[in-house]
Each structure stands twice: as C-alpha cells, then as structure tokens.
C-alpha cells in the first residue's frame, strides 16, 4: 500500500469513527456512550479507535470543534454580508441561534457536544467563545468607524450581546416555546439598536 493510500485509509477510518460517535452521542448522550459502543457502531475494534483517538474526550472535543466551526462560519457570512451594520448584527445573532436550534433538533442529546462537561470540550468552547466575541467586536467597531453605531467599548457590547443570546439558547434547550423566544429576541434587538430614551 502506498503512503498516499495509507493516509487516505487513515483519514477515512477517522472520519467513520467520528460519524459513528456523533450518532451515538446525539442519541444516548456523551456520558452513557463508551468507546466500546463507538467501536461497535463504527465496525472496528476498540484498539483501532484508540489508535485514532487517545480517549473518548478527544472524540468529544473534535466533534465540539466541528460544531463550533459550523456556527462561526454562518456568523462570519452574516457579519460581512450585505446590508447595514444593524441588519448584519441582527443576522449574525439570528444565524447563531438558528445553528444552535439545528443542534437541538439533531438529536435528544445533540447539545452534549457543545455543552459537555469534559475538559477537552470546555477548552474547545472557550476557543469558540473567544473567536465569536472577536468577530462580534470587529463588526461593532467597524459600525462605529462608519458612524452607524455610537459605542465606546465594542468588546463589552459584544460580551453583553452574547450573554443575552446565551440565555435564550438555554431557554430553548429547557423547552421554552420557540415562538415566544423569537418574539423576545426581536424585542431585544429593537431595544439594543434603538434604545429606550425618547428622541427629543
């Protein structure tokens, strides 16, 4: 077997194990799924799984990064797409929420991959949080430079907006009515963009 064929085989095996693990994690949760379960679902031996991944946490972390990267990509597209800065800001936050909803809808335990308590997944989430905060900060700062927003600390505003949207993501995960959440988010966006002070 040539080095290229071996590399492709290695890559395909890794991908196959990850897909099998993802199906199990979404259905049974990360806590109840074992490496033996993953090996069985992937049709390989337990030793083969360990050749590719040092631990179950490594698999969880890689799948977490995959979910986060997908979310960041749709946020970036919204941030630097067409429309006013206000429209792009709302689109970025809406796309973030929609991606989160896709994860929730994708299986009973879909959220385990973005809210898992293992250290590797926590680190993946921290890197994602830093990246999305930087993206939002850059967008708000650009809007300020263009004269569309009047913001003295874009980074602080970005952190506040993400915390606000996190609260709605948690509400959806806990079963709060989706239409109610959407209406409240629209209201929150209006308050953020227009303020509460009457114009004189």
The enclosing domain of 43 has a CATH number of 1.10.10.60
Q: Are residues 68 and 22 in the same domain?
A: no
Residue 113: CB atoms within 10 Å = 26
> Are 13 and 52 in contact, with CB atoms under 8 Å apart?
yes
> Are 178 and 191 in contact, with CB atoms under 8 Å apart?
no
Q: Are residues 124 and 69 in the same domain?
A: yes
Residues constituting the chain:
200
| pLDDT by residue, tens only, the chain of 200 residues | 444 444 447 788 999 999 999 999 988 888 899 999 999 999 999 999 999 999 999 999 899 888 889 889 999 999 999 999 999 999 999 888 888 777 777 766 767 777 666 787 788 889 999 999 999 999 999 999 999 999 899 999 999 999 988 888 777 767 778 788 888 888 988 888 887 565 55
Q: Are residues 108 and 32 in the same domain?
A: no
Q: In sequence order, what are the residues at sequence separation of 6 or more whose Cβ sits closer than 8 angstroms to the Cβ of residue 146?
A: 85
- The confidence score (pLDDT) of residue 101 equals 78
Residue 31 to residues 35, 55, 61, 102, 188: CA-CA distances in angstroms?
11, 13, 14, 21, 36
Round to whole Å and give the CA distance between 76 and 13: 31
Q: Can you list the pairs that 142-148 forms with residues at least 24 positions away whose Cβ atoms lie under 8 Å?
A: 142/85, 143/85, 143/86, 143/89, 146/85, 148/84, 148/85, 148/86
- The confidence score (pLDDT) of residue 4 equals 44
Q: Is residue 199 part of a domain?
A: no
- The confidence score (pLDDT) of residue 1 equals 47
Q: Are residues 43 and 117 in the same domain?
A: no
Q: Which of 193, 196, 5 is nearest to 84 (CA)?
A: 193
**What DSSP character marks residue 197?**
S
* Dihedral (CA of 54, 23, 163, 71) sign: positive
Q: What DSSP string describes 103-171?
A: HHHT-TTTTHHHH--SHHHHHHHHHHHHHHHHHHHHHHHHHHHTTS---S-HHHHHHHHHHHHHHHHHH
- The confidence score (pLDDT) of residue 5 equals 47
For tokens 């590719």, what's the residue?
52
Count of structural domains, the chain: 2
- The confidence score (pLDDT) of residue 199 equals 57
Q: Which domain holds residue 32?
A: 1-53
Q: Are residues 186 and 174 in the same domain?
A: yes
Q: Is residue 189 part of a domain?
A: yes
Q: Is residue 43 part of a domain?
A: yes
- The confidence score (pLDDT) of residue 116 equals 63
Round to whole Å and give the CA distance between 167 and 2: 52
């Amino acid at each position: 077997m040539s080095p290229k064929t071996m590399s492709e085989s290695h890559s395909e095996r890794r991908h196959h194990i990850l897909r099998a693990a993802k199906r199990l994690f979404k259905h049974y949760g990360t806590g109840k799924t074992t490496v033996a379960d993953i090996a069985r679902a992937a049709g390989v031996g337990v030793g083969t799984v360990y050749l590719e991944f040092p631990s179950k946490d490594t698999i969880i972390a890689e799948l977490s990064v995959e979910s986060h990267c997908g979310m960041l990509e749709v946020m970036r597209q919204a941030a630097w797409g067409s429309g006013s800065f206000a429209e792009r800001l709302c689109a970025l936050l809406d796309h973030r929420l929609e991606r989160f909803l896709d994860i929730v809808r994708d299986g009973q335990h879909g959220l385990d991959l973005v809210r898992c308590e293992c250290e590797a997944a926590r680190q993946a989430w921290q890197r994602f949080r830093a990246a999305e905060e930087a993206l939002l900060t850059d967008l708000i700062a650009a809007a300020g430079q263009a004269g569309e927003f009047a913001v003295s600390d874009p980074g602080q505003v970005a952190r506040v907006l993400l915390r606000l949207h996190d609260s709605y993501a948690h509400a959806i995960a806990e079963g709060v009515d989706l239409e109610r959440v959407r209406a409240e988010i629209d209201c929150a966006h209006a308050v953020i963009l227009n303020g509460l002070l009457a114009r004189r």
